[in-house]
Amino acid sequence: MLLGFLSLLWLQFSCSGDESRSQTAEATVPQKPCVLEPLPPIPDDPSWGPHRLAVLVPFRERFEELLTFVPHMHRFLSRKKIRHHIFILNQVDHHRFNRASLINVGFLESGNDTDYIAMHDVDLLPLNEELDYSFPTAGPFHVASPELHPLYHYSTYVGGILLLTKQHYQMCNGMSNRFWGWGREDDEFYRRLRAAGLQLFRPSGITSGYKTFQHLHDPAWRKRDQRRIASQKQEQFKVDRTGGLTNLKYRVESRISLSVAGAPCTVLNILLECDSNETPWCAFG
């Protein structure tokens, strides 16, 4: 609870997400305090269409990236007349980070007023206005496709930014909860999409290449937890045929509405549960 409270105080009273900075990787680490200029209010206009997007952002302690992400995404989606609500899925327990489980929680907690989701990394900002965030009627839509993502270019990659209707996500039983630490959960989810008989779609006609997105992550400043503990090395390539939404265990400690530079979002402070017999690699050390 204390971690969640301090996180919110940090968001409210500090600033390192000034969008006027250089678009280079070196500029992603804050050098000095700044003042976030508030956005003019942008209504969630029902005339924009019947669909509403839940932007699900798995999160832990990456505050400087979040201060850039929330106002950027609110502006971007509003310009495209996409009705949306941004959910910051803040993991406040003492386990290793679990991106997939946080997305599962976001799906279950996002409410009935949203009918599709964006599984969205906090460190990946869309720059090209032609990118499509509209309702993916035909099937899952991978916005950050391998042809456009600045880092990951293999054909089965579905991470970064992926749009799905809530019905399609339910058909996959969500994501596996077995992936603690960084990586591999997206590769397992690709197999779930195929097993559910869903066709994956990607952008076409985008000419900006690897400059389509700004990637905020600086590995020297914030190292990823890539350790493989105990039997995790063998388990990471297996398909989880039973786990997902149906065996997720968690508690939302608090739900708080915030405004970051005038851009609204909801922070869910989440405690994930881990069965140490099933996944002993969920613990640090």
**In this predicted structure, what is the pLDDT of residue 207?**
96
Q: For 4-51, give the DSSP string.
A: HHHHHHHHHH-----TTS-SSGGGGS--S---PPPPPP----GGG-S-
**In this predicted structure, what is the pLDDT of residue 140?**
98
CA–CA separation, 99 vs 94, rounded Å? Answer: 14
Q: What is the pLDDT along the chain (285 residues), one digit of tens a residue?
A: 555 545 555 554 444 333 333 333 333 334 333 344 565 657 678 899 999 999 999 999 888 899 999 999 999 999 999 999 999 999 999 999 999 999 999 999 999 999 999 999 999 999 999 999 999 999 999 999 999 999 999 999 999 999 999 999 999 999 999 999 876 899 999 999 999 999 999 999 999 999 999 998 665 556 665 565 665 555 656 778 889 999 999 999 999 999 999 999 999 999 999 988 888 888 876
Residue recorded with tokens 């969920």: 282
**In this predicted structure, what is the pLDDT of residue 278?**
86
**In this predicted structure, what is the pLDDT of residue 169?**
98
SS3 63: helix
129 burial level (CB within 10 Å; 0-12, 13-18, 19+) = exposed
**In this predicted structure, what is the pLDDT of residue 239?**
74
C-alpha angle 129-135-136 in degrees, rounded to nearest 5: 100
Which backbone phi and psi does 215 adopt, to 5 degrees? Answer: -100, 115
Closest CA to 78 of 111, 38, 54, 45: 45
CA–CA separation, 113 vs 50, rounded Å? Answer: 10
Strands 84-91 and 124-126: unpaired
Residue recorded with tokens 């398909």: 239
Pair 60, 272: CB distance under 8 Å: no
**In this predicted structure, what is the pLDDT of residue 192?**
95
Alpha helix positions (H), 131-253:
166-171, 185-195, 232-235
Alpha helix positions (H), the chain:
2-13, 63-79, 99-109, 166-171, 185-195, 232-235
CA–CA separation, 88 vs 10, rounded Å? Answer: 14
Closest CA to 3 of 61, 85, 43: 61
**In this predicted structure, what is the pLDDT of residue 118?**
98
CA–CA separation, 281 vs 56, rounded Å? Answer: 25
**In this predicted structure, what is the pLDDT of residue 33?**
37
